[in-house]
């Protein structure tokens, strides 16, 4: 019995009211566990398949089934071995596939496991191969206040930063995705990535870290989907072209090309697995005479018949025979030509077999037996009838006496089998030696790669050392030029002070602060000043004309976060509200002497500080008035409620 779902061994859990699992060929473990223990066992062992005759024995309804599918390990499939939406009885399915069956739950669980291991059943799915990755805020942004405004900007900035990191990770993994972002003040409030793959293939994990959280959810289908566990594997003819590039072609029993494949890197086991997943070979063909040893090795692996032409197939003939087929290179063409020529050689025989095989028998199975054992169709059918009768009724059949010629054939066949076995042993020895040589060559190649890597690192270190020395020399030259420029600037300042007598107190050491003037309280004027000399946090700003400011102008100025705004004129009520909301001090410029020389402006530190202090007092009074007003309003509302209650009473 084989438990392979592909050419490789797979771990299969069979589950009924009680559970069992089948592993590696005939090794069977049986156990009775609770539903909770079964879930833990699946999480620990991560089987390839969890098989059952009815998925609703594991889940009470569709929602519970979806939850179960979501909790399964990424590479574990849930299989219903009795069909899709309208399942058959397990006993009937087991009998059809020759699997032992019993009515006890343990026997049913084992039958389910064996059927799934033989690629029988439907894979149950509730999710599409599309996953949504959501990057969003990890905490509330709050509301109101100038300090909370900065807090909100920080959160949105961190969401945008994490979203860009996720985008880079998805690009590095070569995944196709669509991105949708919601922009908010300071960055993003949310970024949604729709990725065309399963969550296990995405290099991002669910997380929550301070300001940002990442959520991953696979897209759910509209309902429960059933798909075959494996495609039907019919009998096929296989053409093989060996060499540095190994090419394989498959043709069905009617001479129709099915598939072609070529590789420079896959080993023999991988090629065999590719063939097994697509059909059951009954004949292996080559395009040259004699059949190459590599092709012969494939033939023996499948215990199939062999075919080789009387002479090497000509290139023109191969091109003509494959003119209606699709292939990617000459190797695939040669493999396909070998399979098609082999079909041509047996076409009449295949047609006779098809005419003689009754509907209840497998045409491919009969054809494979006729080719392998070189018997007549009638003899093969008679033997199949006898075997089927033995299986059903247990009746013994007396074997007839063999003729002398048949005995000689059997003796020669046994001798051939012994010689082939010996040759196979010798070939296994050669294969082992070749494997050892390949391992040594791999180690040598790895050592050479490591040596080349170290040499590259040494060259890179030398290059970086030279680059560092060059940059240090440039830095030294730059420092010398900077010192010369600073000395020249100091001399120019000294000469400037001597030339401007009305600015003499600068030379006396009076504590002054720079002032940045803005012509009008408009957005355009603010932008012009920012372009001319730059506006930065904690600047002292002088508005030559403060009247007429609107909301956008006030918010643009508040975004600079200046130390104080000295105004000439009257601010609008709307501008005062916005500056108060953002905590920006402001006051009249009459009490501050702003002295301007060319484009330079300064004011005394003490006068500026007095404006800031005055604003702070007015801000405190404003907050107190607002508090008192709110308390008065609450008291008035309370009194009104009391009077209303008294009148109603």
Q: Which of 220-234, 454-468, 607-621 has the highest mean pLDDT?
A: 454-468
pTM beyond cutoff 0.75: no
For residue 522, pLDDT beyond 80: yes
- State residue 227's pLDDT score: 80
Lowest mean pLDDT among 115-124, 418-427, 510-519, 619-628: 418-427
Window from 78-82, 230-234, 246-250, 488-492 with minimum mean pLDDT? 230-234
Mean pLDDT of the chain, nearest integer: 81
Look at residue 126 in the predicted model and tell me its pLDDT. 83
**3-state SS class at 585:** coil
Nearest by Cα to 149 from 188, 190, 185, 181 = 185
**Residue 220 pLDDT grade (very low, low, confident, very high; cuts 50, 70, 90):** confident
Using a 10 angstrom Cβ sphere, with 0-12 exposed, 13-18 middle and 19 or more buried, the burial of residue 194 is: middle
- pLDDT tens figures, 499-521: 554 554 554 556 788 888 998 99
How sure is the predictor about 210, in pLDDT bands with cuts at 50, 70 and 90?
confident
- What's the chain's Rg over C-alpha atoms? 43
Mean pLDDT of 174-195: 89
Residue 22, pLDDT > 50, answer no
Half-sphere exposure of 641 (CA within 13 A, CB side): 6
- Residue among 74, 65, 81 nearest 121 (CA): 81
Question: What's the CA gap between 21 and 33, in Å, rounded?
Answer: 12
Residue 395 to residue 400: CA distance in whole angstroms? 16
Over residues 36-56, the pLDDT tens digits come to: 777 888 888 888 888 888 888
608: three-class secondary structure by DSSP = helix
Closest among 284, 346, 337, 277 to 312, alpha carbons compared: 337
pLDDT, mean of residues 621-626:
82
pLDDT-based confidence at 470, cuts 50/70/90?
A: very high
Cα–chain center distance at 349: 51
Residues 6+ apart with CB under 8 A from 581: 146, 558
CA 54 to chain centroid: 31
Q: What backbone phi and psi angles, to 5 degrees, belong to 351?
A: -65, -40
Question: Average pLDDT, stretch 464-477?
Answer: 92
Instruction: Give the residue, 211 or 378, on which the prediction is more confident.
Output: 211
Using one digit for the tens of pLDDT, what is the confidence trace for 54-112?
888 888 788 888 888 888 887 888 899 888 777 888 888 888 777 888 878 888 888 88
Beta strands 595-597 and 600-604: pairing type?
antiparallel
Least confident of 128-132, 179-183, 537-541, 551-555: 128-132
Enter the tokens of residue 381: 């059918």
pLDDT, average across residues 596-618: 82
Please give the Cα distance from 50 to 387 (Å, whole number).
33
CA distance 248 to 227: 28
Residue 178 reports pLDDT greater than 80: yes
Q: What is the pLDDT of residue 146?
A: 43
User: What does DSSP assign to residue 644?
Assistant: H
Is the pLDDT at 432 greater than 50? The verdict is: yes
- Which position has the higher pLDDT, 236 or 389? 236
Looking at per-residue pLDDT, the higher value among 369 and 191 belongs to: 191
What is the Cα–Cα distance from 296 to 311, expressed in whole angstroms? 17
Express as a percent the part of the chain with pLDDT over 70: 85
Most confident range, picked from 216-230, 332-346, 480-494: 332-346
**pLDDT, position 371:** 81
Contacts of 188 (CB under 8 A, 6+ apart): 135, 156, 159, 160, 163, 181, 182
pLDDT score for 494: 65
Average pLDDT over residues 384-404: 48
Q: Is the pLDDT of residue 642 over 90?
A: no
**pLDDT tens-digit series, residues 235-269:** 899 999 998 999 999 999 889 998 999 999 888 88
Q: Is the pLDDT of residue 390 over 80?
A: no
Q: What is the pLDDT of residue 107?
A: 86
């Amino acid at each position: 019995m084989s438990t392979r779902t592909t050419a490789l061994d797979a771990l299969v859990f069979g589950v009924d009211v009680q559970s069992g699992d089948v592993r590696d060929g005939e090794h069977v473990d049986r156990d009775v566990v609770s539903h909770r223990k079964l879930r833990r066992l699946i999480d620990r062992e991560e089987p390839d398949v969890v098989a059952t005759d009815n998925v609703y024995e594991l889940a009470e309804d569709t929602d519970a089934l979806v939850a179960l599918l979501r909790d399964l390990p990424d590479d574990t499939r849930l299989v219903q071995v009795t069909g899709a939406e309208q399942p058959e009885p397990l006993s009937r399915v087991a009998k059809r596939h020759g699997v032992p069956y019993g009515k006890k739950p343990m026997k049913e669980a084992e039958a389910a496991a064996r059927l799934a291991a033989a690629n029988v059943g439907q894979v149950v799915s509730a999710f599409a191969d599309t996953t949504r990755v959501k990057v969003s805020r990890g905490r509330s942004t709050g509301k109101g206040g100038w300090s909370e405004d900065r807090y909100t900007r920080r959160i949105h900035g961190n969401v945008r930063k994490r979203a860009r990191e996720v985008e880079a990770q998805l690009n590095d993994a070569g995944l196709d995705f669509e991105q949708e972002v919601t922009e908010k003040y300071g960055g993003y409030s949310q970024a949604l990535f729709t990725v065309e793959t399963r969550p296990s293939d995405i290099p991002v994990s669910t997380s929550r870290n301070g300001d940002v959280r990442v959520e991953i959810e696979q897209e759910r289908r509209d309902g429960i989907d059933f798909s075959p566990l494996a495609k039907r594997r019919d009998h096929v003819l296989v053409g093989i072209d060996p060499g540095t590039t190994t090419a394989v072609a498959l043709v069905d029993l009617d001479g129709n090309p099915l598939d072609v494949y070529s590789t420079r890197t896959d080993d023999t086991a991988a090629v065999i697995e590719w063939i097994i997943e697509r059909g059951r070979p009954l004949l292996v063909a080559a395009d040259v005479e004699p059949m190459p040893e590599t092709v012969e090795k494939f033939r023996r692996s499948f215990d199939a018949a062999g075919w080789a032409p009387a002479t090497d197939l000509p290139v023109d003939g191969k091109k003509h025979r494959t003119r209606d087929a699709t292939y990617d290179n000459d190797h695939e063409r040669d493999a396909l030509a070998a399979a098609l020529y082999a079909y041509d050689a047996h076409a009449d025989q295949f047609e006779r077999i098809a005419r003689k095989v009754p509907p209840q028998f497998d045409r491919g199975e009969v054809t494979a037996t006729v080719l392998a054992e070189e018997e007549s169709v009638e003899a093969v059918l008679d033997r199949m009838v006898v075997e089927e009768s033995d299986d059903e009724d247990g009746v013994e059949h007396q074997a007839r006496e063999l003729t002398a010629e048949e005995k000689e054939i059997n003796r020669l066949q046994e001798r051939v089998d012994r010689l082939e076995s010996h040759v196979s042993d010798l070939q296994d020895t050669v294969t082992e030696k070749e494997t050892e040589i390949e391992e040594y060559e791999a180690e040598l190649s790895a050592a050479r790669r490591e040596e080349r890597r170290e040499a590259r690192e040494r060259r890179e270190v030398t290059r970086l050392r030279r680059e560092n020395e060059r940059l240090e020399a440039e830095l030294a030259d730059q420092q010398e030029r900077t010192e010369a420029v600073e000395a020249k600037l100091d001399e120019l300042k000294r000469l400037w002070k001597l030339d401007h007598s009305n600015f003499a107190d600068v030379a006396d050491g009076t504590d002054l602060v720079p002032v940045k003037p803005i012509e009008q309280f408009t957005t355009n004027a603010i932008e012009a000043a920012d372009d001319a000399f730059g506006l930065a946090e904690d600047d002292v700003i002088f508005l030559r004309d403060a009247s007429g400011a609107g909301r956008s102008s006030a918010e643009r100025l508040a975004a600079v976060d200046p130390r104080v705004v000295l105004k000439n004129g009257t601010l609008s009520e709307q501008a005062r509200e916005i500056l108060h909301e953002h905590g920006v001090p402001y006051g009249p410029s009459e009490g501050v002497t702003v002295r301007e020389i060319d484009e330079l402006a300064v004011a005394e530190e003490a006068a500026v500080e007095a404006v800031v202090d005055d604003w702070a007092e007015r801000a405190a009074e404003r907050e107190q008035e607002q508090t008192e007003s709110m308390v008065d309003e609450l008291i008035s509302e309370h009194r009104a409620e009391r009077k209303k209650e008294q009148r109603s009473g």
